[in-house]
Structure 1
Amino acid sequence: MRKKKLFVISALALTISTLISPITANAALPVAVNNQSIPSLAPMLEHVTPAVVSIAIEGKQISKQRLPEAYQFFFGQNFPSEQVQERPFRGLGSGVIIDADKGYIVTNQHVINNADKIMVQLYDGHEVTAKLIGSDKSSDIALLQINTPQKLTAIKLANSDKLRVGDFAIAIGNPFGLGQTVTSGIVSALGRSGLNLENIENFIQTDAAINSGNSGGALINLNGELIGINTAILAPDRGNVGIGFAIPSNMVNNLAAQIIKFGHVQRGTLGIQGRELTAELAKTFGYGTNQGAFVNQVMPNSAAQKAGLRAGDIITTVNGSPIRSFSELRAKVATLGAGKTLTLQAMRNGKLQPFTVTLSASHDNSVQADDLHASLMGAKLTNTMFNGKAHGVKVSQLMKGSRAARSGLLKGDIIIGLNRTAITNLDQLRKALEHPPKVIALEIQRSNNVLYIIIR
């Protein structure tokens, strides 16, 4: 094994010495050859790297262990069947400063998930405690904010819709906690999806080396502009094999703007059901390529119906940018935000037709409770109605032994108040927990009774 490694290193050294044979091993590299400057990314990176930060988190992880049935035999049926433990954990990741004046930093939601403490290390080594402004689990984006006297550098966002396969790409992040690291490659593919079907995916694929710890870091172009946020790798052994994925900068920009304005993502919806376009399906509907989004059904009273879209249409562009798949259409629409107006082109009866659509608000009325407050981890919350009117927030799912369960919540409980303020829906609860008091008293309706549960 050792001989094999030495052979690889020798081969690399041989390649380098062949390229620069006139230069001795101890000589300094020239700044120019034949009066031509040697290409280097260094000047651009000197301006960009201060905008990429390292993120360290601390939190508590819940583990459950089923106890032998003999315990209940000896101690009674009321003795717990599971042992629940909270174990501290630490995690590392990366982030990108997008607003130097306000201290906004974008990272991945999975980087800061369940964190009780978030520390940001700046390029110059200074460490600052960060505040979580909001996050979106479905798109894996989180927005942090820091307040520091240090002068910050923000990165400029590129228009990711203009990317082409073959464009150069540079990844900057904190792999394996080593510190800031730069790798380079190209854009290998666009519009990638299917890594997790429950999430909103429209990834840039790159062969720039991305490893554990790079999550939340920057993928930039040769102009030093952000084209994506690095988020995942495809590798059986969790190492780099030249297949990395990044969330496009346009999606990042739209999501961050919504989190800044509302504290959460107000997802938009078109109101269609569809599928990926195959070559056979495209031929059946008189379309010459299999790139596009096929519309199976248009929902009544939806934004799509109001705009004139019909079942059988093939959507080919959004705001002038090509649509490669139904997954890409879904991701773009979901991250644009409710109320946004966009222009579509769709193929109908062999002809392209334009449509103008104003997106409706998504009717996704449920949320994982830890997105609102860490002490509610393990519960799923859903808007509920009574006599046709909003009537609080229902605990629709509850993980046994979770922090929410140990706080006293039960499945079926309805949160109707918080610290003497009435709560009728998730938006009100989310707003009340944006700046939570030290002690939170949840007013709960349980069957025909009303009680208070205190969480911290």
Structure 2
Amino acid sequence: MKKMSVLMSSVLLSSSLAMTTLPAYANLPFSVDGKQLPSLAPMLENVTPAVVLISVKGTQEVQSVPDAFRFFFGNPRQNAPRERPFQGLGSGVIIDAEKGYIVTNHHVVKEADEIQITLKDGRQISAKKIGADENSDIALLQVEADGLTQVKIADSDKLRVGDFTVAIGSPFGLGQTVTSGIVSALGRSGLNVENIEDFIQTDAAINSGNSGGALINLRGELIGINTAIIGPNGGNVGIGFAIPSNMVQSLVKQIIEFGEVRRGVLGVSGRSVTGEFAKAMELEEAQGAFIEEVTKDSAAEEAGIVAGDVITQVNGKKIKSFAELRGKIGAIGAGSEVELTVLKSNGKKKVYKVVLKKADSANIEPSSIHRALEGATLENNSQGFGVNVTDVEAGTPAALIGLRKGDIIRGVNRKRVANIGELRELLQDESSVSLLNIARGNSNLFIRIK
């Protein structure tokens, strides 16, 4: 029986090159019978320094007594959750050498108190988590170091089944390992129906420890972030999944700018168009997303989409299923305009321009902005200027410096702050003293932090 396993992963790279050709740089300076032998070594020498090993430490709550047996234990102390230390390993990819940004999986660094990066040259550096998105399993880390190497990012929408892939990561903590394969399928979903999924499937060997690593193409460009496998007991059987690079870029851009993923919402529910369904509805193609319901006051309703429509393309790219529609829309930020091609009930196609609305959920890490903000809950001001403090936990650093629920952070050191992204930029240097300009009711005040 096959089992779904989430990994500590690697990055996979794929290419749109024809399978019968290899790039010129893949040739080694020696030959057999007068013919040069192809090799990926020259390309990998440039790319592998951008893939790192991630070591994490932390504590997590565990139940002392399993739920099924709690009835037999009347003592509350026996039922109370306990904290247990844990350690883990994964992989990550440097996407911005100058700013030290590293992408990995959310599940690699989830609940981690300490995050350490090991570079290919052996250097070990502490990292901080800038933000994460559990639904798409993406996290963004940052380190301070010189001499970093970043990977070039490819357009994953141009991938084709059969393109070559190379996976780079640290399976089982063995150290950096490279495997190769092809793109087995595109637009895979259904691994976890609650998550945002639009996976690249590959047969390049991926194992535990590869999560967060790179999937690249033969040009040495990042096409995905490895995240999961299907296999017995967590072992590789040639079915691995990677988050497409275009989705990664969209999510990371939002985390950097806003401190959270401002997920766009279309406001529809529906089902995938199957062969039988297409026949019953007299549709020409057995693919697309059939819309069963449109939420009131949603982006879809405001654009003119109605129940019974079939969405066939997003921004000019065909979609095969409702899950693929959900994955693509979920990776696009709120406020973005999306072009949807819709097959109407009369058989005619129509193109809609839809401005996505913001999802309710947010996942901001205030301590990643500044240690003094730990314990505060922050969100961008709906008026388009400033950062709202929506809650402050008692006894935390945020409470101790004087922040209160309802405060609005308007500036830092007399410089105006438009959003969480700008707040992070202005508070990057935690060694110096900063003054937060706070609007509290009808009053303005300054709070000193260091």
Q: TM-score range by the shorter chain?
A: 0.7 to 0.9
Q: What SS does the aligned partner of 1:38 have?
A: strand
Please tell me whether residue 351 in structure 1 is matched to residue 348 in structure 2: yes
Provide the residue aligned with 2:145 in structure 1: 148
Provide the residue aligned with 2:247 in structure 1: 251
Shift of 1:31: 1.7
Aligned positions of 1:434-445 closer than 5 A: none
Provide the residue aligned with 1:421 in structure 2: 403
Separation in 1 of the partners of 2:408 and 2:300?
Answer: 26
Provide the residue aligned with 1:122 in structure 2: 119
Change (3 A) 1:198 1:70: closer
Contact 1:56 1:120 in 2 (8 A): yes
Residues matched between the structures, number? 374
Please tell me whether residue 308 in structure 1 is matched to residue 304 in structure 2: yes
The answer to which structure, 1 or 2, has the higher relative contact order (CA under 8 A, 6+ apart) is: 2
Change (3 A) 1:193 1:166: same
Contact 1:365 1:382 in 2 (8 A): no
Aligned positions of 1:314-329 closer than 5 A: 314-329=310-325
Shift of 1:86: 2.5
Separation in 1 of the partners of 2:152 and 2:176?
Answer: 19
Q: What SS does the aligned partner of 2:329 have?
A: helix
Shift of 1:200: 0.8
Shift of 1:427: 11
Shift of 1:408: 9.9
Provide the residue aligned with 1:230 in structure 2: 226
Shift of 1:288: 1.9
Change (3 A) 1:212 1:270: same
Contact 1:96 1:107 in 2 (8 A): yes
Shift of 1:425: 10
Provide the residue aligned with 1:361 in structure 2: 358
Provide the residue aligned with 1:45 in structure 2: 44
Contact 2:391 2:405 in 1 (8 A): no
From 252, 255, 258, the equivalent of 1:262 is 258
Aligned positions of 1:19-418 closer than 5 A: 31-66=30-65, 80-149=77-146, 151-348=147-344, 349-362=346-359, 364-365=360-361
> Residues 321-353 of structure 1, C-alpha deviation per residue, up to 9 Å, x if partnerless?
111111111111111100111111111122221
Change (3 A) 1:276 1:427: farther
Separation in 2 of the partners of 1:144 and 1:231?
Answer: 16
Q: Which amino acid aligns with 1:58?
A: K
Change (3 A) 1:50 1:278: same
Q: Which amino acid aligns with 1:146?
A: V
Q: What percent of counterpart residues are identical? A: 55
Change (3 A) 1:31 1:308: same
Separation in 2 of the partners of 1:426 and 1:228?
Answer: 38
Q: Which has the larger radius of gyration?
A: 1
Separation in 2 of the partners of 1:235 and 1:207?
Answer: 12
Shift of 1:286: 3.5
Change (3 A) 1:305 1:246: same
Q: What SS does the aligned partner of 1:139 have?
A: coil
Provide the residue aligned with 1:3 in structure 2: none
Separation in 2 of the partners of 1:252 and 1:285?
Answer: 36
Contact 1:366 1:382 in 2 (8 A): no
Change (3 A) 1:136 1:70: closer
Change (3 A) 1:427 1:344: farther
Shift of 1:382: 12
Q: What SS does the aligned partner of 1:93 have?
A: strand
Contact 1:285 1:350 in 2 (8 A): no
TM-score relative to the length of structure 2: 0.75
Q: Which runs of 5+ in 2 are unaligned?
A: 1-27, 380-387, 411-419, 431-450
Change (3 A) 1:287 1:382: farther
Q: What SS does the aligned partner of 1:295 have?
A: strand
Shift of 1:268: 0.4
Separation in 1 of the partners of 2:193 and 2:329?
Answer: 16
Separation in 2 of the partners of 1:70 and 1:166?
Answer: 56
Shift of 1:310: 1.5
Separation in 1 of the partners of 2:72 and 2:260?
Answer: 47
Separation in 2 of the partners of 1:272 and 1:233?
Answer: 30
Shift of 1:177: 0.5
Shift of 1:276: 1.2
Contact 2:389 2:409 in 1 (8 A): no
Separation in 2 of the partners of 1:278 and 1:425?
Answer: 51
Q: What SS does the aligned partner of 1:296 have?
A: strand
Change (3 A) 1:423 1:288: same
Separation in 1 of the partners of 2:210 and 2:262?
Answer: 28
Shift of 1:272: 1.1
Separation in 1 of the partners of 2:74 and 2:318?
Answer: 62
Q: What SS does the aligned partner of 1:422 have?
A: coil
Give the 4+ runs in structure 1 shifted more than 4 A.
67-73, 371-375, 391-395, 416-419, 424-428, 433-437
TM-score relative to the length of structure 1: 0.74
Shift of 1:283: 2.7
Q: Which amino acid aligns with 2:351?
A: P
Q: What SS does the aligned partner of 1:209 have?
A: coil
Contact 1:286 1:350 in 2 (8 A): no
Q: What SS does the aligned partner of 2:234 have?
A: coil
Shift of 1:72: 6.3
CA RMSD of aligned residues (A): 3.6
Q: What SS does the aligned partner of 1:31 have?
A: strand
Q: What SS does the aligned partner of 2:157 have?
A: helix
Q: What SS does the aligned partner of 1:290 have?
A: coil
Q: What SS does the aligned partner of 1:169 have?
A: strand
Change (3 A) 1:427 1:233: farther
Contact 1:272 1:295 in 2 (8 A): yes
